Structures are given as structure tokens and as C-alpha cells.
């Protein structure tokens, strides 16, 4: 009996110790319930790079409201690189006092007062891409600071990360955010080098699939050791990734260049395709100085509805003929978005026979069969109804432009 009692005490002691040890296991799971549709907002980098300050961010928040972008669904005002000042003697990060004299907390309060949310930027390495203090070794302190400031979104970059493994580094910042306790959307920005779509679904809410976009419709900018990619080059790099995206975890082909200098048809095609592939819609232009054409593109609620569809299925390329790609995206309610993308510089005639074409999508387990079901056809750019699938579609798609339709029963 005595030996049995000693044995039971030993087991209980072991279990207590083991249980106590488990208290120190990190939670590497992202906050659930966030980004159930692709995030919509604005980021400072594409237009302003390191030239950010408090005045710009406040004015951008004002413009997001006054332009109608907030009403269209845009939520986040994201400050990218170069907001950082120094760390104090305890290692806590502070904003650059010259650029942000009121501090980030006051700025967050202002943005929240507008009914918007605020995002911040950091880096998994020792320095950000702009040479400011990175979060390496300070992850938990930075997460506490962001929570204290009221941050809602963190873009976490991948410069100066010598010796780090991406999955581990992003799990560390996720654990830090969880420990800090404030639900924050985590944008994984390691450029797709370590295939974040494979491991990122439980760690972050979106992940970059490529290097940086730049303001060109169909070209590559070679920087020597790295490249920037045009809109079409970025689009091509999304092939094979759609199965990894869905509510709460999105492929991110980088921010929008709409309003940054491309012509209107290119901007329209860019926005349409980002909607089709369920990409985050993060504007990268100067919201304070937008043309009516730019506003009309960015606030087209029918196109945005395709992007924000609750089914959360990324669109796919169905066919290519004479430089015109045909894309389909299943939508909730047995509806479909269909986009004809003309990649050439010259107008193209298209003809599509709905009755003799069946579209099967194994991912969503959905089929479009115009022979058995008649759909109403809606042009989401002209905002006009255009008959039904009883008749063949015949149209001209201008050069580097789109014809974008929604089919409903």
C-alpha cells in the first residue's frame, strides 16, 4: 500500500510539473474572426515611400471618408516604413518625434474617430527595408506597444533577416501579438520566397505572393539584385495558388497602383483582376488628389462586391485566345463573375457561347452550364443589364482593358 501511494504521488508530481511547463508554450495561432473577406484600405508606400508624417496620415483618413471610399468598404489606414524613431533604454520603440510629434496613439485615436482602423509596419529583421529599427529580438515589446497604441493591422516585412527562417520568424510575431492581447490583422510580407501560402494560413491573415509591384501595366523593373513587377507579371505569378486562399487567409499580390499614373483602362483592368482573384484591396495612391476617374474605379461597389463575396473563392483563368483571357469567379447564391481581360494594346473582338460552354470548378464544387440554366447578365463597369445567357456574347474589349460581368439566375 505504501509503495502504491508513493507511486501515485510521483505520477501526480510529474503531471503537475508537466502542466506547469505547458503554461509557457507559445500560441502561434493568429487571431480568428479577422479578415473574413479580403482587407480593404490604404497604404503609404507606393506613393510616398519613406516620406510619411502625421499630417499626411490625418489628411488621408479625412480623404478616405470624404471621397466615398469608406462608404465603399475601405477600412484601414496603414503607415508603411519610416515612421520609426529610436528605442528607449528599455528597448521600447517610439515614433519619429519630428514626423509624428503627437505620437502614434493620438493618431490612432484620430483615425478611430473617423470610423476607420489603423495599420503599422515593422520588419522581422534587425532593420526595416528603409533602415529603421526592425523587430528582431524585440517582438514581444513591439506587440505590446502596438496594442497600447490601438493598432489594428501589422504589415511585417522581410529585410535584413540574415539567418532567420520565415515560418519561425512569423510565428514569433504571431505569438507576441497573441500575448499582447489585441486582435490585429497580420500581413505576412516575405515576398513569397518561402511559400507562405503553405504554412501561413494559421499564422497570418494574408501573405505576399511576390516581390513588389510597381506602376506599370505590363513590364519588369530590374534593380540588379531584385526586380519590381508590373500588374500583368504579378497576375501571372498567382497561378496555382488559389486553393490556399479563403475567408481569413488571403493570397496578397501586393497593393494597388490605381491612380498612380497608368491610363484609365489599365487602372480599370488592374482593379478588376484584383477583385477577381480575391486580393486585398489596399490603395496606394494619394487619396487627397484623386481624379473623378480614379474615385469611380476605386469605389465601384459592384466590382468591390465581387472581391468581397462571402464565398471567398479566388477566381481562375478559364481560357486564352488571341491575347484575351477569360476568367471566372464563383460567387455566393450560385452567381458567377466573368472577366474578359485583353492584354494586348489593340481592341479585340470576343464571342462567347454560354449555351455550349460548361465551366466546372473543382475547388468550389460549382458548375456553370448555360445550356441548362439561364443567367441574367450584368455589366459591372457600365452598371447596365445586358440580356441573358440565352444569346451569345459578342463584344469588343479595348486594349489593356476588361469586360466584367456578373451572371445571376
Given the residues 81, 123, 157, 252, the one annotated as active site: 157
* Cα 293 from chain centroid (whole Å): 23
Bin 236: left if φ > 0, else alpha if -120 < ψ < 50, else beta. alpha
Q: Would you call 385 a catalytic residue per the annotation?
A: no
Q: Phi then psi for 370, rounded to 5 degrees?
A: -70, -10
Given the residues 81, 212, 254, 361, the one annotated as active site: 212
In the structure, how many helices (H) and strands (E) does the chain have?
12, 22
In the 3-class helix/strand/coil scheme, how is 250-291 assigned residue by residue? EEECCCCCCCCCCCHHHHHHHHHHHHHCCCCEEECCCHHHCC
Q: Which residues contact 131 (CB under 8 A, 6 or more apart)?
A: none
Q: Would you call 86 a catalytic residue per the annotation?
A: no
In the chain, what's the furthest Cα-to-Cα distance?
92
* Alpha-carbon distances of 168 from 25, 124, 196, rounded to whole Å: 14, 10, 11
Decide: 44 and 80 in contact? Cβ < 8 Å.
yes
Q: Phi then psi for 68, rounded to 5 degrees?
A: 95, 0
**Number of CB atoms found within 10 A of residue 72's CB:** 17
Residue 54, CA atoms < 13 Å, CB-side half-sphere:
16
DSSP 132-198: SB--TT-HHHHHHHHHHHT--EEEEE-SS-TT--HHHHHHHHHHHHHHH----EEEE-STTTT-HHH
**Number of CB atoms found within 10 A of residue 285's CB:** 23
Which sequence positions are flagged as catalytic?
157, 212
Amino acid at each position: 500500500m505504501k509503495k502504491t501511494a508513493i507511486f501515485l504521488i510521483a505520477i501526480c508530481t510529474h503531471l503537475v510539473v508537466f502542466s506547469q511547463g505547458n503554461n509557457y508554450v507559445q500560441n502561434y495561432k493568429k487571431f480568428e474572426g479577422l479578415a473574413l473577406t479580403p482587407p480593404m484600405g490604404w497604404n503609404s508606400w507606393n506613393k510616398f515611400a519613406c516620406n510619411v508624417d502625421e499630417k499626411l496620415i490625418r489628411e488621408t483618413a479625412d480623404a478616405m471618408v470624404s471621397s466615398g471610399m469608406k462608404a465603399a468598404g475601405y477600412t484601414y489606414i496603414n503607415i508603411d516604413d519610416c515612421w520609426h524613431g529610436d528605442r528607449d533604454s528599455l528597448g521600447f520603440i517610439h515614433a519619429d518625434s519630428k514626423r509624428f510629434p503627437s505620437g502614434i496613439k493620438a493618431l490612432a485615436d484620430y483615425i478611430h474617430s473617423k470610423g476607420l482602423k489603423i495599420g503599422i509596419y515593422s520588419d522581422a529583421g534587425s532593420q526595416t527595408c528603409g533602415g529603421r529599427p526592425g523587430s528582431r529580438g524585440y517582438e514581444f515589446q513591439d506587440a505590446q506597444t502596438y496594442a497600447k497604441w490601438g493598432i489594428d493591422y501589422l504589415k511585417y516585412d522581410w529585410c535584413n533577416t540574415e539567418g532567420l527562417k520565415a515560418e519561425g520568424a512569423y510565428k514569433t510575431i504571431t505569438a507576441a501579438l497573441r500575448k499582447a492581447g489585441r486582435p490585429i490583422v497580420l500581413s505576412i510580407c516575405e515576398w513569397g520566397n518561402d511559400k507562405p501560402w503553405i504554412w501561413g494560413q494559421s499564422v497570418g491573415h494574408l501573405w505576399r505572393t511576390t516581390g513588389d509591384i510597381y506602376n506599370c501595366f505590363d513590364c519588369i523593373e530590374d534593380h540588379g539584385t531584385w526586380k519590381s513587377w508590373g500588374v500583368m507579371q504579378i497576375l501571372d505569378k498567382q497561378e496555382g495558388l488559389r486553393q490556399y486562399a479563403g475567408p481569413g487567409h488571403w493570397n496578397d499580390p501586393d497593393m494597388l497602383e490605381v491612380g498612380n499614373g497608368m491610363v484609365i483602362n489599365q487602372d480599370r483592368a488592374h482593379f478588376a483582376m484584383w477583385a477577381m482573384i480575391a486580393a486585398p484591396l489596399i490603395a496606394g495612391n494619394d487619396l487627397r488628389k484623386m481624379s473623378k476617374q480614379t474615385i469611380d474605379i476605386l469605389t465601384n461597389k459592384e466590382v468591390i462586391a465581387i472581391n468581397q463575396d462571402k464565398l471567398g473563392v479566388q477566381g481562375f483563368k478559364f481560357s486564352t485566345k488571341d491575347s484575351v483571357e477569360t476568367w471566372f469567379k464563383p460567387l455566393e447564391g450560385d452567381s458567377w463573375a466573368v472577366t474578359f481581360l485583353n492584354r494586348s494594346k489593340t481592341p479585340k473582338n470576343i464571342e462567347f457561347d454560354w449555351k455550349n460552354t460548361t465551366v466546372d470548378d473543382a475547388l468550389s464544387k460549382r458548375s456553370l452550364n448555360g445550356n441548362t440554366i439561364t443567367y441574367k447578365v450584368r455589366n459591372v463597369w457600365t452598371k447596365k443589364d445586358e440580356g441573358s445567357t440565352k444569346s451569345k456574347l459578342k463584344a469588343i474589349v479595348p486594349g489593356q482593358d476588361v469586360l466584367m460581368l456578373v451572371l445571376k439566375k
